[in-house]
């Protein structure tokens, strides 16, 4: 059997799903994540989150009134320059600006840029500021 390698924790920062019925979605996700022994990370009146997954109601500020179909994918960037390069390259490739590179109020050091892809999905590159990682990713070999 050939050895294969997977890397986790390098590409996806978080994924947002916008749902029609938040209480029903929360019940479902809490149930399946409980079975997987993954705790809910936090909640608010119009959202909850688990690790890299953020789920909000259609009326939450984060959703801008649209159901999933408008996915939000956030990719990790090594520094501010990489966030800026992402934004420039995306615009050159036909993306539409949805928030230029800059600090965001989510937490100190959150530096991000946003683009709409050709289908209208909100694609983000984010650098969370200086931090020490225990490893660049989790390496799984099988």
pLDDT band at 138 (very low <50, low <70, confident <90, very high): confident
Cα Rg, the chain, nearest whole Å: 17
Mean pLDDT of 112-118: 90
| Distances in whole angstroms, Cα of residue 107 to Cα of each of 74, 87, 104, 111, 127 | 15, 21, 7, 9, 11
Please, where are the H alpha helices in 45-139? 80-92
> What DSSP designation does 63 have?
G
For the ranges 2-6, 67-71, 80-84, the lowest mean pLDDT is seen at 2-6
Question: In the predicted model, what is the mean pLDDT of the chain?
Answer: 85
Instruction: Give the per-residue pLDDT at 64.
Output: 77
More confident of the two residues 36 and 59: 59
Contact of 129 with 110, CB cutoff 8 Å: yes
How wide is the angle at C-alpha 65 spanned by C-alphas 61 and 66, nearest 5°?
125
Distance CA 54, CA 47 (A): 7
Residue (of 31, 66, 60) closest to 47 by Cα position: 60
Q: Looking at residue 121, what is its pLDDT?
A: 79
Find the range with the poorest average confidence among 18-22, 96-100, 119-123.
119-123
Interval 4-55: pLDDT, tens:
565 667 777 888 888 888 999 898 899 888 887 788 989 999 999 988 889 8
């Amino acid at each position: 059997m050939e050895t294969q390698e997977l890397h986790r924790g390098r590409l996806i920062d978080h994924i947002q799903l916008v749902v029609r019925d938040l209480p029903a979605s929360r019940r479902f996700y809490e149930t399946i994540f409980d079975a997987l022994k993954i705790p809910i990370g936090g909640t608010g009146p119009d959202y909850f989150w688990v690790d890299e997954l953020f789920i909000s109601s259609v009326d939450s500020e984060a959703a801008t009134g649209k159901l999933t179909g408008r996915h939000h994918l956030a990719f990790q960037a090594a520094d501010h320059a990489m966030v800026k390069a992402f934004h420039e390259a995306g615009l050159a490739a036909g993306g539409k600006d949805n928030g230029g590179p800059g600090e965001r109020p989510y937490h100190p050091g959150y530096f991000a840029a946003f683009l709409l892809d050709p289908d209208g999905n909100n694609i983000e590159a984010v650098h969370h500021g200086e931090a020490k990682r225990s490893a660049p990713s989790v390496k799984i070999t099988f």
